[in-house]
Structures are given as structure tokens and as C-alpha cells.
Amino acid sequence: MSLDNASMTVYGDSISGNCLKVKFVADRLGIPYDWVETSVLARETRTADFLALNPAGQVPTVTWPDGRVLAQSNAIMLLLAEGSDLIPDDPFDRALMYQWLFWEQYSHETALAVLRFKKHYLKLADHEIDPGLPLRCDAVLGLMEGHLAPRRYFVGEKLSLADSALVAYTRFAHQAGLSLPTHVAAWVRRVEHELEIEHLN
Ligand SMILES: N[C@@H](CCC(=O)N[C@@H](CS)C(=O)NCC(=O)O)C(=O)O
């Protein structure tokens, strides 16, 4: 499929880091798209029309005029970035990028994004939140800090999809009541600058 001549539609919620990942990569690579704002809080991902598109009822979901549909933020980013400098040429560096993408989904997003949602959007008090969740966030940020202390990017000393994915919820950490360690904070600014996205706090 050529992405050049088939314009895509992104069903996304602007408050969602997973959706913003798709925007970051498409904008960076100059890939045109129509953005259809789809609110999770308003349950627009649970309408019959949306579920017909993506039975998982989740954004981001991307469609093309020929009827193709693709979900999962990291799968979408990987498709958009195919052949670009956001995916390392070296096979081992590429595998490291996948390593961080899988970690992002399994360990990072499930901690930082969930804590942010509970605190910032559901307005839950601390005593209503599983005490293990902030601890998992601290562990995630500690691991990132250790990795970034001697380097500027997650893989191969240049921006890759690993950075685009991990920055998405890390830059919202203040909304989860978390403060970023030094090297993580500097990396967020660096990646925001490279992707030309605004700094939030
Ligand atoms: N692993 C998926 C997660 C997608 C996801 O959880 N999306 C949320 C918004 S961030 C959603 O659509 N939630 C609505 C729902 O589950 O009802 C991805 O990376 O795209």
C-alpha cells in the first residue's frame, strides 16, 4: 500500500498519548491525514458505528479510503515510519527500538497513563488509588533515568519511534502528580523540540 496517494483518517482523542503518538509521527514525516476527534470520556469509542470500525472500541484507529483499518498506536507508528529515519537501519538497534516499544505498552503506559487518567480525569483521591500504581510509576521513571543518564535518546543516539512512543505519556507525568528525574526531564524537552511539539509544564 502506498501511503503517498491514499489519505488516511485518524480517529483520535487529543487528550490521549496513544493518539498523539500517531500525530507526532505523521506530522514529523509530513504524512497528510484527517483527524476525527473521538472522545473517550464521552464514550464516542463505544458507539455502534465506532465499534463496527474497531471492535476493541479504542483510539487511535486509522482508516484508509480502500477500507483498511489499523489500530494500536505502535503498529500505526511503525507503518507510517516505514523506511524513514525514525526506524534504525541496524537490525540490532531496530530490535532495541522494538524492545522499548513493547516495554512502553506493557510497563510504561499501563502505569503512567493509568495514574494520570485516575488523578487528572477521574479526579480520584490518593486513597482511592491502588498504592502500587504510583510505586510502579516511580520504578518506570527510575528505569528511564538510568537508561538516559549516559545517552540522549533511547536507541542509537538519534530520535526513533522509541522516543516518540515513550514521550507521549511521560510529558503528561505532572498530570499524574509525578515529577520527572533530571535526565528524563531533559530528554522530554529534547524530543519535544525535535518533534516540534509544545512543552506542557
Ligand atoms: N494499546 C492501545 C491502547 C489504546 C487505548 O487504550 N486507547 C484508549 C485511549 S488512550 C481508549 O480508546 N479507550 C477507550 C475504551 O477503552 O473504551 C494502543 O496503543 O493504541
Question: 54, 81, 108: which is the final residue of a domain?
Answer: 81
Q: Would you say the CB of residue 73 lies under 6 angstroms from ligand 1?
A: yes
Q: Which atom number of ligand 1 is nearest to the Cα of residue 58?
A: 12
> Which pLDDT does position 201 carry in this prediction?
81
Q: Considering the domain boundaries, does residue 3 fall inside one?
A: no
Residue 198 has pLDDT above 80, yes or no: yes
Instruction: Report the alpha-carbon distance of residue 75 to residue 54 in Å, rounded.
Output: 14
The rounded Å distance from CA 149 to ligand 1 centre is 31
Instruction: Report the alpha-carbon distance of residue 152 to residue 191 in Å, rounded.
Output: 9
How does residue 3 score in pLDDT terms, banded at 50, 70 and 90? low
Residue 2 has pLDDT above 60, yes or no: no
> Which pLDDT does position 1 carry in this prediction?
53
Instruction: Report the alpha-carbon distance of residue 109 to residue 100 in Å, rounded.
Output: 12
Q: Considering the domain boundaries, does residue 18 fall inside one?
A: yes
Q: Would you say the CB of residue 12 lies under 6 angstroms from ligand 1?
A: no
Structural domain count of the chain: 2
Domain span holding position 107:
91-195
Instruction: Report the alpha-carbon distance of residue 41 to residue 127 in Å, rounded.
Output: 23
Residue 5 has pLDDT above 90, yes or no: no
CATH code for position 43: 3.40.30.10
Q: 82-141 pLDDT, tens per residue?
A: 999 999 999 999 999 999 999 999 999 999 999 999 999 999 999 999 999 999 999 999
Percentage of residues in the chain having pLDDT higher than 90: 96
The rounded Å distance from CA 197 to ligand 1 centre is 22
Residue 39 has pLDDT above 70, yes or no: yes
Residue 4 has pLDDT above 60, yes or no: no
Q: 155-170 pLDDT, tens per residue?
A: 999 999 999 999 999 9
Same domain as 121, residue 185: yes
| Residue nearest atom 10 of ligand 1, based on CA coordinates | 16
Same domain as 103, residue 56: no
Same domain as 172, residue 119: yes
From residue 169, give the alpha-carbon distance in Å to each of 29, 47, 67, 174: 21, 26, 30, 10
Note the maximum CA span of the chain.
Answer: 52
